[in-house]
Amino acid sequence: MASLADRMRGNGRIAAGLLLNLLVSICIVFLNKWIYVHHGFPNMSLTLVHFVVTWLGLYICQKLDIFAPKSLPPSKLLLLALSFCGFVVFTNLSLQNNTIGTYQLAKAMTTPVIIVIQTLCYKKTFSTKIQLTLIPITLGVILNSYYDVKFNFLGMVFAALGVLVTSLYQVVGN
């Protein structure tokens, strides 16, 4: 049985990994927005860069035995690949057309949409407590969108599509 010190060390690594992931994610969002605003970098080019860097990262992780690839039936692989592509493209378009705050807040709708998809398509049920947590999330996003001083209808369309496709990607990937 692992000692308390070993468990604390393990939990510390997990916490450090999560913190690093959070900080890197924030830096990527700000860097992407800066590239859009100051250099007018084309969205498709930035999307290509994201795909290349993702592939490189996954390749390195595979070579370091961090994970092992698994096989999927072609139909499930196609749906997963298309939803991943849509998730990257639409979230990049959302970032390009919205403020960073609106972009980040719109992503908060992913959890409610995942729950709706799982409820409607997979007949999964959720407790009342979980369902009630969706109310403040949804109201917060709606209020932010309504009162956003830089409201952009096209940006909100891209944000909604990004949330929908990201939610599908999360459901299909599990």
Give 102-113 pLDDT, tens digit per residue. Answer: 898 899 999 999
In this predicted structure, what is the pLDDT of residue 2?
63
Note whether 130 and 115 are within 8 A (CB). Answer: yes
C-alpha span between 172 and 132 (Å, rounded)? 25
In this predicted structure, what is the pLDDT of residue 50?
85
In this predicted structure, what is the pLDDT of residue 10?
72
* Burial classification of residue 33, based on how many CB atoms lie within 10 Å of its CB (0-12 exposed, 13-18 middle, 19 or more buried): middle
In this predicted structure, what is the pLDDT of residue 72?
86
In this predicted structure, what is the pLDDT of residue 1?
55
Q: Which of 19, 47, 30 is nearest to 100 (CA)?
A: 30
Domain coordinates in residue numbering, the chain: 1-41, 74-173
Angle at 85 between CA 80 and CA 86, to 5 degrees: 100
In this predicted structure, what is the pLDDT of residue 146?
77
The alpha carbons of the chain give a radius of gyration, in whole angstroms, of: 19
Instruction: Tell me the HSE value of 168 on the side-chain side, using a 13 A CA sphere.
Output: 18
Query: Could you say which residues of the chain have pLDDT below 50?
Result: none
In this predicted structure, what is the pLDDT of residue 11?
82
